[in-house]
Amino acid sequence: MSRTEKDQATDHVTQSKDDPTPKWWKWIFTMTLAFSPPYLFWYHCGAEGRTLSEKYDIALAANLKLQFGAIGELSLTRENVVKYLYEESWLKVGGSIFKANCVSCHGAEGGGLGGPNLCDDNYKNIKDIGDILRVLQNGANGGAMPPWQAKLSPNEIVLVASYVASLRGSNPSVAKPAEGRKIPAWPKQPAEEDELTEVTDE
Amino acid sequence: MSSVASGTNSSEELGVNMAGSEVDNNHLIEPHSYDDAIVKQFAAATLLWALFATLAGLAIAHLLVIPKMFGGVETLSFGRLRPLHSSVAIYAFLANGIFAAIYYSTQRLCGVKNWSWLLSRLHFWLWQFIIIAAIFNFPEGLTQARSQADLLQPIYLAILFVWTSCFAVNFFMTLRTRKVKKLYVSLWFYAATIVSFPLLLAANSIALPVSWVKSYPFLAGAQDMIVQWCYGRSAIYYLLLMPFLGMMYFFVPLVSGKRLSSYRLAKIHFWALVVLLLWSGTASLHYTAIPEWISSVGMLAGLLLWMPLWGGLLNGWRTLRGGAVNFGSSIAYRFFMVALLFYGISTLEASVLSIKSVSAMTQYTDWTIAHLHSGMMGWNGMLAFGILYWLMPRLFKVEIWSERGASLHFWISLMGVLLSVVPLYISGIIQSTMWGSMDELGNLMYPDFFEAISASRIMWWIRIMGGMLYVIGLVLMVANFAMTWVNRSSACEVGSEVPVNPSEAESEIESPGTLDHAPVLDAARALERWSKLHWHQRWESTITPFFVIPILLVLVVSLVLVLPNIIFKSAVPQIASVKPYSPLELLGRDIYRTEGCFNCHSQMVRPMVAETKRYGDFSRAGEFVFDFPAFWGKRRIGPDLAREGGNKQTSIWHWRHFEDPTAFVDGSVMPSYSHLLDAKIDFDEVAQQVKTARLLGVVYEEEMDVYLQSARDQAERVAADIVSSGGTIRRGEVMTLESKAVALIAYLQRLGTDLSAPVTADSKDDSAETAMKDDPVTLTEYAATSLNK
């Protein structure tokens, strides 16, 4: 802003200098003002489905549908554990549940930290693949392995059980020495509908 | 008389001329000099504390990448030093800068010496003493541990005392005795701050003191959070914004040699800021367990603030640029230009961050830290440095010792700020993305929390380099200041003379409006007058509006935002299964507070699928009714702990994890807390804790002995659990069952478990709205519901 002689003479009257406020300044300010009442009304008029917790419920339902829509509600059976042991894409789901909940005791690759190594052939509380479900649901070792049935959905328990089973035979970079007894290999992938013993649902 | 355009060499006159005014000719003014010695003291203190604050920041930045740097000494852990760094930065470095600039400019703008020599000295020395006392508190773990109140209550009271009785009295009395009638823009900003800041700080400091070093807020959980973010956060926001704008309005015209670009815009944006600022505090609590309308108000106020904030940017920028002074010719000009740029960026950012969906992404990540640092290092810091460089030759009446050193400081600190904040913005995005991403199957893409922490490490290293540059720049400045002082001319001891006749201004109030000569209705003329803000000119001759309106605003905000949450029980829906902490858990909570765990761990799962998948069900307001205060946290360097309880990790896991966290968690940057394993619980504290909780309205209706015994019993149970899972019975002198870690583990195992706990027979009869006082819990019931999990 170049200033004229006349300006300088009246310099001390500071009010006399008022560069025009840019249009965009006024417009944006007006827009933010105009935006506020409708926003408040929209979210706080009491209509359904607009609060955070309602939106969360919708998002959660959509997520569950996305995750388990294809497989429905799984029952906690040995046969399901075996079935998903051989389905690569669902093992990934189980792996993600494992990473979120189990790695602090069993290690990132399942080699064991506080909890036992899940990658070798020795198991402490498991004689059969179905036992994994039981340990997951009820815990083991006097609570050292906590029960998960209140914290994970049945689908999640089945899938993480399959994932844990799939760890057997892998080579983790950190591995705890073997504990417990050596048990026979997991059952092979069922051809179709084989005879399978059911584990009691709890 | 000379004009502003004559340049930067006659500052005293210029300062006054800017204000423009009527002279009170009835008084015969005796020649005397401004009190610049106090300005020098505060300026020196600003620089020394700046060095201290940035060095402390540098130290804790190192702790994030080398957790064992200080050999695991408990007094030097991140959790204890983080609040030290921020408190010194705000209350020592920046506050001293504010005082220096205000003492300098107020005298010039009023055409009169500081009202009281003694009060300003008391202000200086007491303030420094308070800061030193605060510094000694933090390593000892003495903190209120509230989100917006790190310092101890007595420290805040001391700050309040010095601020009001020394600073405010001196300032307003100087204004009352002024020779320049018109109050210039800067003085409005100063006055609003000097009135509002202590009010907000006082409201935020209301707490129950149980000793010199311990106090507890009267309100728990969500209610206390609203208090803190409405008052405490606004106090800090006020302090880092308003006086600095006032300083900008005074010093930018002096440096650029131009008049203020728009007086009118200054009026509009000043009042818009005063009116809107206090409403925006809760914009940082989106998605947490506060009533949703409060968070909406915060968001809208944040958006509305955008243009008022940028009013300062526009005015500053247009006043600074385009005159005879340019980037090459003035050091202060450079600093001001960069400061204004950072101001523009960080105020825009503040508005954008107040949008709920944006906040959902940035909350708890490094983005918050980057935002704060770009504001404080870039805007506040650079502006303060620019002002001090401009003041140096004027205070010491001698050329700056090294112009080149000052120039070097500018470039180094500019690089320093950029390298400090850009990596943190990037790591903020990394964390936000990795913690929030879901794959095509609806699973967490990065289920391991620490993948994001590991990915952030390189950024944390770069940011350390930025911090180092900033410190090196400061060292240059301190040297420059010291050498300029050594070379000072003897004339500087006298101080600058107060001009006998500060200004020959005519009043603008009666100036003819464009419509004055037209035969129009009086109403039209009045409207024209109003729209041109001419009414404001009358205000500018009196202190009252700048004193009263900020106070009114604090009252209105209290009535509308804060009080409803205290009065109406529906603000915090009670949950019948949520019970008071057991005595041992209270002791554990106290350790959590002392160690500053909340500096890295939040306790607030937000209602977002990516969050509940990772941590568990989202947090409800009713879960925090026994948290005095709640530890919701502001940043996640470790995972959220709101649902940590209920054996999510076993007690032995916690025990070993405290000893050496990195051995258990890949990518963890948590230091070892083995000193908790080696320290004994002071069971005598049980009585104090329970008594305090009773005073706060929590029902503990048994005899004190019962609680003492219960604490010992629970410790024994936790210890038995640890020992039976392979833990040691004793470590050196300390039995496991009496170690502090056991109390902390008891607290952690309780966290977030009450929500899904079965409702006991007793409370089933009560309605859902039962207040905690009407819902007594006996120890036996308590033990039945929570200890046996």
Place of tokens 């799939």: A166
In terms of pLDDT, which residue wins out, A94 or B367?
B367
A3 falls in which pLDDT band (50, 70, 90)? very low
Q: Which residues of A touch B616 (CB under 8 A)?
A: 151
Q: Supply the pLDDT for residue B778.
A: 37
| Helices and strands in chain A: count of H runs, count of E runs | 8, 2
Looking at A138-152, B226-240, B277-291, B585-599, which range is the least confident one? A138-152
Q: Supply the pLDDT for residue A191.
A: 64
In terms of pLDDT, which residue wins out, B28 or B119?
B119
Q: How far apart are CA A89 and CA A94, in angstroms?
A: 9
Contact by Cβ (8 Å): B137, B155: yes
Instruction: Tell me whether residues B441 and A11 touch, CB distance under 8 A.
Output: no
B521 falls in which pLDDT band (50, 70, 90)? low
Instruction: Tell me whether residues B287 and A52 touch, CB distance under 8 A.
Output: yes
Q: How far apart are CA A136 and CA A148, in angstroms?
A: 6
Q: Which residues of A touch B292 (CB under 8 A)?
A: 43-44, 51-52
Instruction: Tell me whether residues B20 and A12 touch, CB distance under 8 A.
Output: yes
Q: Is the ipTM of this complex over 0.90?
A: no
Of B62-71, B93-102, B145-154, B683-692, which has the strongest mean pLDDT? B93-102
Instruction: Inform me whether the C-beta atom of residue B450 falls under 8 Å from chain A C-beta atoms.
Output: no
Q: Supply the pLDDT for residue B25.
A: 38
Place of tokens 């510094």: B135
Q: Is the pLDDT of residue B233 over 50?
A: yes
Buried b (16+ CB within 10 A) or exposed e, A44-53: eeeeeeeebe
Average the pLDDT over B415-439 and give the result.
96
Average the pLDDT over B335-350 and give the result.
97
Q: What is the DSSP letter of B23?
A: B
Best probe of the A interface among B182, B259, B262, B451, by most A CBs < 10 A, is B259
B768 falls in which pLDDT band (50, 70, 90)? very low
Q: Supply the pLDDT for residue A38.
A: 96
CA B225 vs. chain centroid, Å, equals: 14
Q: Is the pLDDT of residue B375 over 90?
A: yes
In terms of pLDDT, which residue wins out, B441 or A129?
A129
Instruction: Tell me whether residues B447 and A151 touch, CB distance under 8 A.
Output: no
Place of tokens 């690089």: B415
User: Closest chain B residue to A40 measured between Cα atoms?
Assistant: B296
B40 falls in which pLDDT band (50, 70, 90)? very high
Buried b (16+ CB within 10 A) or exposed e, B27-54: eebeeeebbbbbbbbbbbbbbbbbbbbb
How do beta strands B208-211 and A181-182 pair? unpaired
Q: Is the pLDDT of residue A1 over 50?
A: no
Average the pLDDT over B112-139 and give the result.
95
B7 falls in which pLDDT band (50, 70, 90)? very low
Q: Supply the pLDDT for residue B500.
A: 55
Average the pLDDT over B609-621 and give the result.
92
In terms of pLDDT, which residue wins out, B769 or B200?
B200
B236 falls in which pLDDT band (50, 70, 90)? very high
Q: Is the pLDDT of residue B502 over 80?
A: no
Return the percentage of chain B with pLDDT > 90, whole number: 72
The alpha carbon dihedral of B750, A140, B614, B451 has a sign of positive
Instruction: Tell me whether residues A13 and B505 touch, CB distance under 8 A.
Output: yes
As a dihedral over the C-alpha atoms of residue A183, residue A189, residue A195, residue A198, rounded to 10 degrees, the angle is: 60
B760 falls in which pLDDT band (50, 70, 90)? low
Q: What is the pTM of this model?
A: 0.84
Q: Is B739 helix (H, G, I), strand (E, B) or coil?
A: strand
B19 falls in which pLDDT band (50, 70, 90)? very low
- Would you give the end-to-end CA distance of chain B in angstroms? 83
Mean pLDDT of chain B: 87
CA B33 vs. chain centroid, Å, equals: 37
For residue B140, give Cα distances in angstroms to B75, B308, B672: 6, 42, 17
Q: How far apart are CA B290 and CA B229, in angstroms?
A: 11
Which two structure tokens, joined as six digits, stand for B43?
Answer: 């300026």
Q: Is the pLDDT of residue A9 over 50?
A: no
Q: Among candidates B334, B189, B188, B251, which has minimal Cα distance to B15?
A: B251
Q: Which residues of A touch B5 (CB under 8 A)?
A: 3, 8, 11
Of A161-165, B7-11, B341-345, B508-512, which has the strongest mean pLDDT? B341-345
Q: Supply the pLDDT for residue B499.
A: 66
Q: Among candidates B581, B625, B628, B630, which has minimal Cα distance to B770?
A: B625
Size of interface A-B (CB pairs under 8 A): 174
Q: What is the DSSP letter of A184?
A: P
Q: Supply the pLDDT for residue B47.
A: 97
Q: Is B77 helix (H, G, I), strand (E, B) or coil?
A: coil
Give me the long-range contacts of B434-437 (CB less than 8 A, separation at least 24): B435/B365, B435/B610, B435/B611, B435/B614, B435/B636, B436/B361, B436/B608, B436/B610, B437/B610
Which two structure tokens, joined as six digits, stand for B97?
Answer: 């800068």
Q: Which residues of A touch B608 (CB under 8 A)?
A: 56, 59
A12 falls in which pLDDT band (50, 70, 90)? very low
Instruction: Tell me whether residues B650 and A105 touch, CB distance under 8 A.
Output: yes
User: Closest chain A residue to B656 measured between Cα atoms?
Assistant: A114
Q: Is B248 helix (H, G, I), strand (E, B) or coil?
A: helix
User: Closest chain B residue to A58 measured between Cα atoms?
Assistant: B609
Nearest CB neighbour to A15, from listed B306, B508, B656: B508
B554 falls in which pLDDT band (50, 70, 90)? very high
User: Closest chain A residue to B609 measured between Cα atoms?
Assistant: A60
